[in-house]
Amino acid sequence: MKNDLRARREAKGWTQARLADALDVSRQTVNALETGRYDPSLPLAFRIAALFDTSIEHIFTPDQQPVQSA
């Protein structure tokens, strides 16, 4: 899953530690999210979206679009 979490965090002038505190996760979790090594749980994705006052879909996008059935 791709995301623009790093850009959003940096636009607010926040460190990874500041974002981690706001989300009640470790700084390592924020780093893993930003580098795409970790996909958030749904509750965490909702907390992230709420913190940035947007929807989950505006932060996270799937690596590939699902195949539509005919």
At 51-62, the pLDDT tens digits run 999 999 999 998
pLDDT exceeds cutoff 70 at 65: no
CB-CB contact of 59 with 52 (8 Å): yes
Confidence (pLDDT) at 42? 96
22 inside domain: yes
pLDDT exceeds cutoff 80 at 34: yes
* Terminal Cα distance for the chain, rounded: 25
Confidence (pLDDT) at 8? 98
Q: Is residue 15 helix, strand or coil?
A: coil
68 inside domain: no
Tokens for 27, please give them: 């700084």
Question: Which residue reads 């974002």 in tokens?
Answer: 19
pLDDT exceeds cutoff 80 at 48: yes
What ranges in the chain are assigned the alpha helix state H? 5-11, 16-23, 27-34, 42-51, 56-59
pLDDT exceeds cutoff 80 at 9: yes
pTM value is: 0.86
Count how many domains the chain has.
Answer: 1
41 inside domain: yes
